[in-house]
Amino acid sequence: MITVELAKLFRRPRTYVITGLLCALPFIVAVFLATTRVPPPPGQGGAFLSAVLSNGALYPAAAMALVMPVFLPVSVAVLAGDAVAGEATAGTLRYLLVRPVGRTRLLVAKLVSLVVFVLFAIVAVLVTAYVTGLALFGSEPSAGVALPADVTSLSGVTITPAGLALRMAGTVAYIVISMLSVAAIALFLSTVTDSGLGAAMGALAVLVTSQVLATLDAAAAVRPYLPTRYWLAWIDFFRDPVLWRDIERGAGIQLVYLGALLLAAWAAFVTRDVAN
Amino acid sequence: MTTKRTEERIGPEEQAEARIKAPKQQRSKAAKEQSSKGAGAKEHSATDRAGRKGPSGEKGKSEPREHSLIVTRGLTKRYGRITAVDGVGLEVREGDRYGLLGPNGSGKTTLVRMLLGLVFATRGEIEVLGRPVPSRVREVLPQIGAMVEGPGAYGHLSGRTNLKLFDAAGPGGGRRDRMRRVDAALERVGLAGVDRRPVRAYSLGMRQRLGLAGALLRKPRLLVLDEPTNGLDPRGIREVRDLLTELNAEGTTVLLSSHLLGEINAFCTRVGVMDRGRLVLQDDLAGLRRPTGRVLVSTPAPERAVALLDGRVETRDGTTIGVRHADAAALNSELVAAGIPVTEITVERRSLEQVVLDVTSTSSDRVDA
Amino acid sequence: MGARGTVVSSQARRRWLVVLVAVVLLGSVPVLLALRPAGAGTMDPGTLRARMAGSGGQAFHGYAQSNGLLPVPALPGLSDVTSLVSGVTEMRTWYASAERWRVDVVRGAGETDLYQVGDAQVVWESAAGQLTRIVGAQPVRLPRGADLTPPVLGARLLALATEEAPGAGDRFEVLRGKRVAGIDAVGLRIVPATVGTTVAYVDVWAEPGTGLPLQVEITARGGSRPVFVTRFLEVDLSAPEDSVLTPPVPGPGVGSVVTDTSDLLAAANRLGRGWLPERLGGFERQDTPVAAAGVYGTGLARFVVARLPGGAGNRAYEQVRTFGTPAGDDAAVLPTGLLTVGAVRAGRGVYLIAGLVEPAVIERVARELS
């Protein structure tokens, strides 16, 4: 079933459209930055953006900071919201179920395909951002050979290319985990409604509420439990030494949300009437 | 091909012919069934008719017979305060061409969905291929081909890819001969020449055929088809009917639901009539269309005929008179002997339409003040 | 019932029950962890005080967070300072000895790292990509994040409270134990007796063995909840690795400057303009005379007066006047409950006054300065 879901994912034009849009955002930002050479004031604007002007090799990290807070979760919510509801609307859900495909299996396959999508999209963004970064900003030649470039961490320590690759891998893994809660929320809603749009909207409403509460001092008591609280913790991969605290907590929270919502989706879906 | 011809004999356009010929095979088959199941079946269908009083299953002598593929007892589905299916005791036997007849909204689709484990019953029992549904529906679904309420396919993919994906999604069947299975199914429904066009560019008829191909992929033992001829032209309808007849002859049991009386009449051997969620009638078609005991005689001289048959004439409609008579041949010779010309003579049978009208209430889409 | 696997509504209910139980279990884990009873460790206040005072040699590293609830507006040029008392500051700290430590103030997408290497201090500003080496003694400087880690703040407040002769009146009470960063900490409450301070009491929890302060809470007079809290969220009482304590070296992407003035105040002081009296608002001046800033008062009732140069000074004055209340023509006072800020325009400069004292004291100082 997982292979079928993956085939459906990669045969669907919208997968590439969304990925393309995700890649386009950092590209456009890069073009503006490169032509105007006006960096955001230190401490403001997206993370790493001011550092990028001097070293394009850090642009993938800046690109992550650009797509992470809004664009990526929106695409995940749209896809996950459509996952079950879309099949129900298109009438394919009942044919899958009488094939028969177990309902739990279907949910798991949907989730796996969402994870693969996030992975695919992030890697696509990273690759385009790396190429764009090097092409538009150039890289600072490290001692001797010009390539690959060395990068300075947030703590001012030089990161070796191998170290950068490792940190980037950590970032990708963390972002994939961060998207799990969005995917699980939208997937759960997708099992209780036939409207993919409604499910996506519901998931986004949860995220926006979470983002608002995260900045509200009055809501400090619930802040550690908000799904978006640790979303930007991957930046801590670029500190020296790596600050694991928020990364661990963020991953833990995401897994808890994933577990609870997946259970709820299972409970809602396994005995849900599939009828229009 | 032989089955096909047999089938043609009872097609609607051959009705007139059939009236005289009184299809031998139909009659004999029905008779065989009657004798094989004995009085029990009659009692069963009788209780179905009386289903309004209580769940028919309880009276239906519990255990399903060996050859019953689908048995439901007191099956009820409620959506909030609306009862979509109400105490239905359906029985489909192996080899049946079962027609589930009823207007839109009478609960046919909900009933079919419950049989397939898509919708969950509020009360009652379902057994399909001897297994309780939905608790063990996954054991029987591989032997069932289904098309429920219109075909469903991924619009951006070609028909062939759709079938391949659906085939790969479920258990059984190797990757190796998937291509062959898909091609065979497409061939069977008349889509062999289909190209790489995405399904969204298909006509409704093509989609319907594709849905049928999906149902046939695994050579099912039981075919459950909900309105399979929707959107097909008359030729297409005929092709589908021929295909189903062929499959039935090969041993596939077919449960077909339709709101079109003609379709059921033309294809089915057994019929269940749904009305407002209830199964108000379930019987063999042959039994339903039994002779009324009257012979219809058309003659240019009806007055003389009436005079001759004094007292035995029960109806008169222009030049056609209905005569209570056990033997059409004897009546014919009697009339001919009296010098009355006979242009047409037929054994009168109850029409399915009349039966349905008798058992159903007002039209379901009628809203009276 | 007799449905033999057809009616599944009871299964659905059971399934939701499973979900409910699982969610409750998952949700209760942090609550249970938080409610885990802390050890009832208690200690004689004198011993505890002595231990805390002697904890300066204890190596540690950890992650601390301070949270200030004081409504101080961002003062131009001083926003780094005001944000310390009016918001959350996250700090990573590594401490080997008084001459060798590092504190990173961690922000969303950047950090400011302070290294102490012998006599010199090195500041790394990630936003600017700049290394600053501060050489020479800093007689006066602005507060910074590194001053807010529990050990530093705890030791400082304790020193202030005890600098006077015992018997000056500050009271010490033992508090109930508390779990801080997984350690069963013992607590000490300092209740200042000094007149004029806004501090009701200071609570310090420390690791019982070493006396290392792990959590510090300051509660203002008239308040029931602490308005300033700093605590470790994670702490390890072992020496940090040496590599962590070594500042980065200038290189590609890392600019570098050397300075002898770390901030605005130090710069003002270096300019040497201004004059501060020996006595203000009835309090004695405490420190050795420097030109631009002076500390007055004793114990926790103390305040700082600094003379800021024209531009920055005037903007700070406008802010204080906007958010605070005017005290005369050329002065304004901004009380926040704990910290009181005042600004006085005098000549071409501006005196900025700040301290844990009552507004009346600052008003009096303002009158004397204008």
Say whether both B37 and B111 belong to one domain.
yes
Q: Which of A226, A236, A262 is nearest to A112 (CA)?
A: A262
- Whether residue B358 lies inside any domain: the answer is no
Strands B97-101 and B82-88: unpaired
Contacts of A126 (CB under 8 A, 6+ apart): A60, A63, A64, A168, A172
Q: Which residue of B has its CA nearest to A8?
A: B165
A276 touches chain B (CB under 8 A): yes
Q: Name the residue facing B170 among A3, A90, A101 (closest C-beta).
A: A101
Instruction: Tell me A187's DSSP state.
Output: H
- Whether residue B362 lies inside any domain: the answer is no
Contacts of C12 in chain A (CB under 8 A): 267, 270-271
B296: domain CATH number?
3.30.70.980
The alpha carbon of residue C84 is apart from the nearest alpha carbon of chain B, in Å, by 57
B178: domain CATH number?
3.40.50.300
Q: Per-residue pLDDT tens, chain C, 370 aa: give them.
A: 444 577 888 888 899 999 999 999 988 888 888 787 766 667 788 888 888 888 888 999 999 999 988 888 877 777 788 888 888 899 999 999 989 999 999 987 788 999 999 888 899 888 777 888 888 777 677 888 888 999 999 988 888 876 654 556 678 888 888 888 888 888 889 888 877 888 889 999 999 889 999 999 999 988 888 999 999 999 999 999 988 999 888 876 677 888 876 676 666 666 655 567 778 877 877 766 566 678 888 778 888 888 877 777 788 888 888 888 888 778 888 888 888 888 888 777 788 888 888 888 888 888 888 7
Say whether both B136 and B222 belong to one domain.
yes
C22 touches chain A (CB under 8 A): yes
Interface test with C, best of A254, A271, A274 (most C CBs within 10 A): A271
The alpha carbon of residue C8 is apart from the nearest alpha carbon of chain B, in Å, by 7
Say whether both B167 and B255 belong to one domain.
yes
- Which chains have 3 or more CB–CB distances shorter than 8 Å to chain C? A, B
B139 touches chain C (CB under 8 A): no
Say whether both B320 and B205 belong to one domain.
no
Single-letter amino acid code for the residue at A32: F
Domain endpoint, select from B288, B305, B325: B288
Where do the structural domains in chain C lie, given as residue ranges?
45-257, 263-369
Instruction: Give the pLDDT confidence score for residue C348 in this predicted structure.
Output: 73
pLDDT tens digits along C287-321:
665 666 788 887 788 888 888 777 777 888 888 88
Say whether both B312 and B257 belong to one domain.
no
Say yes or no for a CB contact (<8 Å) between A155 and C104: yes
The answer to which of A246-255, B281-290, B346-355, C283-292 has the lowest mean pLDDT is C283-292
Does B11 have pLDDT greater than 50? Answer: no
Q: Which of C179, C152, C159 is nearest to C93 (CA)?
A: C152
Token output for B306 = 């009436």
- Which chains have 3 or more CB–CB distances shorter than 8 Å to chain B? A, C
How far apart CA C158 and CA C167 sit, in angstroms, is: 15
- Interface A:B, Cβ pairs < 8 A: 78
Architecture in CATH of C45-257 = Clam (2.50)
Contacts of B248 (CB under 8 A, 6+ apart): B3, B95, B97, B254
Contacts of C124 in chain A (CB under 8 A): 155-156
Does A144 have pLDDT greater than 50? Answer: no
Reduced 3-state DSSP string for B214-282: HHHCCCCCEEEEECCCCCCCHHHHHHHHHHHHHHHHCCCEEEEEECCHHHHHHHCCEEEEEECCEEEEE
- Whether residue A12 lies inside any domain: the answer is yes
A92 touches chain B (CB under 8 A): yes
Contacts of A89 in chain B (CB under 8 A): none
Say yes or no for a CB contact (<8 Å) between A100 and B165: no
Say whether both B115 and B249 belong to one domain.
yes
Length of chain B equals 369
Q: Which of C339, C348, C256 is nearest to C82 (CA)?
A: C339
- Whether residue B36 lies inside any domain: the answer is yes
Tally of domains in chain B: 2
Does B38 have pLDDT greater than 90? Answer: no
Kindly report the pTM of this predicted structure: 0.81
Interface test with C, best of A263, A266, A270, A272 (most C CBs within 10 A): A263
Helix (H) or strand (E) holding C298, with range, is strand C293-298
- Whether residue B368 lies inside any domain: the answer is no
Contacts of B166 in chain A (CB under 8 A): 95-96, 99
| A219, A213 contact by CB (below 8 A) | yes
Q: Which residue of B has its CA nearest to A274?
A: B118
Does B268 have pLDDT greater than 90? Answer: yes
Contacts of A128 (CB under 8 A, 6+ apart): A23, A26, A27, A63
Say yes or no for a CB contact (<8 Å) between A225 and C247: no
How far apart CA B24 and CA A104 sit, in angstroms, is: 52
Instruction: Give the pLDDT confidence score for residue A77 in this predicted structure.
Output: 95
Reduced 3-state DSSP string for chain B: CHHHHHHHHCCHHHHHHHHHHCCHHHHHHHHHHHHHHHHHHHHHHHHHHCCCCCCHHHHCCCCCCCCEEEEEEEEEEEECCEEEEEEECCEEECCCEEEEECCCCCCHHHHHHHHCCCCCCCEEEEEECCEECCCCHHHHHHHEEEECCCCCCCCCCEHHHHHHHHHHHCCCCCCCCHHHHHHHHHHHCCCCCCCCCEHHHCCHHHHHHHHHHHHHCCCCCEEEEECCCCCCCHHHHHHHHHHHHHHHHCCCEEEEEECCHHHHHHHCCEEEEEECCEEEEEEEHHHHCCEEEEEEEECCCHHHHHHHCCCCEEEEECCEEEEECCCHHHHHHHHHHCCCCCCEEEEEECCHHHHHHHHCCCCCCCCCC
The alpha carbon of residue A191 is apart from the nearest alpha carbon of chain B, in Å, by 14
- Which chains have 3 or more CB–CB distances shorter than 8 Å to chain A? B, C
Interface test with B, best of C1, C4, C6 (most B CBs within 10 A): C6
- Whether residue A276 lies inside any domain: the answer is no
Say yes or no for a CB contact (<8 Å) between B141 and A3: no
How far apart CA A247 and CA A275 sit, in angstroms, is: 42
Domain endpoint, select from B264, B288, B312: B288
A275 touches chain B (CB under 8 A): yes
Q: In the CATH hierarchy, which fold is given to the domain comprising C263-369?
A: Phosphorylase Kinase; domain 1 (3.30.200)
Say yes or no for a CB contact (<8 Å) between A98 and B141: yes
Say whether both B312 and B342 belong to one domain.
yes
- Between C254 and B197, name the one with better pLDDT: B197
How far apart CA C333 and CA C340 sit, in angstroms, is: 7
Model confidence band, residue B46 (pLDDT cutoffs 50, 70, 90) = very low
How far apart CA C74 and CA C83 sit, in angstroms, is: 7
Q: Which of C190, C186, C232, C212 is nearest to C67 (CA)?
A: C232
Contacts of C2 in chain B (CB under 8 A): 125
Phi, psi (deg, nearest 5) at residue C203: -105, 130
Tally of domains in chain A: 1
Say whether both B275 and B306 belong to one domain.
no
Say whether both B283 and B309 belong to one domain.
no
Q: Which domain holds residue A93?
A: 2-270
| B95, B245 contact by CB (below 8 A) | no
Contacts of C111 in chain A (CB under 8 A): 154-155, 239
- Between C264 and B72, name the one with better pLDDT: B72
Say whether both B113 and B210 belong to one domain.
yes
Interface test with A, best of B154, B204, B222 (most A CBs within 10 A): B154
Instruction: Give the pLDDT confidence score for residue B252 in this predicted structure.
Output: 94
Q: Which domain holds residue B311?
A: 291-349
Residues of C numbered 209-228 whose beta carbons fall under 8 angstroms of chain A's beta carbons: which are they?
A: none
Q: Name the residue facing B156 among A13, A94, A274 (closest C-beta).
A: A13
Token output for A21 = 């849009």
Instruction: Give the pLDDT confidence score for residue A46 in this predicted structure.
Output: 64
Highest mean pLDDT among A50-64, A236-250, B19-33, C326-340: A236-250
Q: Which of C69, C30, C54, C370 is nearest to C219 (CA)?
A: C69
Single-letter amino acid code for the residue at C244: V
Phi, psi (deg, nearest 5) at residue C293: -145, 150
